């Protein structure tokens, strides 16, 4: 089954290569989606693919790259999200919703 999940990663996750790491990990799992910094200091990602692959990315995001210090990973499964079907991209920083 294909699923789409939004992730919000908190902690020391900006300025440590988290987005590049996440993009590489997601591509390795064969996922499509995107990753970006948020103005509140967190990182947001949207991932779409097979349930097992998305679950593997979520678990990997709980650690992140060696220089990151992740304190939490919030996830929300989405009904549908428009994104490139065979690509995982890094987007510019966006305004945080909270």
pLDDT at 83 > cutoff 80 = no
In this prediction, residue 55 carries a pLDDT of 98
Domain ranges of the chain: 2-90
Q: What are phi and psi of 25, to 5 degrees?
A: -65, -45
Condensed to tens digits (0 to 9), the pLDDT of residues 22-45 reads: 999 999 999 999 999 999 999 999
Condensed to tens digits (0 to 9), the pLDDT of residues 63-74 reads: 999 999 999 999
pLDDT at 81 > cutoff 90 = no
- 77: which 2 tokens? 């499964």
- Annotated catalytic sites, by residue? 19, 37
Phi-psi region of 35 (alpha: psi -120 to 50; beta: other; left: phi over 0): beta
Say whether pTM exceeds 0.95: no
In this prediction, residue 98 carries a pLDDT of 59
Domain 2-90 class, CATH top level: alpha beta
């Amino acid at each position: 089954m294909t699923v789409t999940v939004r992730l919000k990663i908190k902690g020391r996750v900006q300025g440590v290569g988290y987005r590049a790491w996440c993009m590489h990990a997601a591509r390795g799992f064969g996922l499509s989606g995107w990753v970006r910094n948020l103005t509140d200091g967190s990182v947001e990602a949207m991932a779409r693919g097979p349930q097992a692959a998305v679950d593997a990315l979520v678990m990997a995001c709980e650690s992140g790259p060696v220089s990151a210090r992740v304190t939490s990973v919030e996830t929300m499964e989405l009904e549908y999200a428009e994104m490139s079907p065979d690509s995982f991209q890094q987007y510019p920083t966006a305004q945080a919703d909270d």
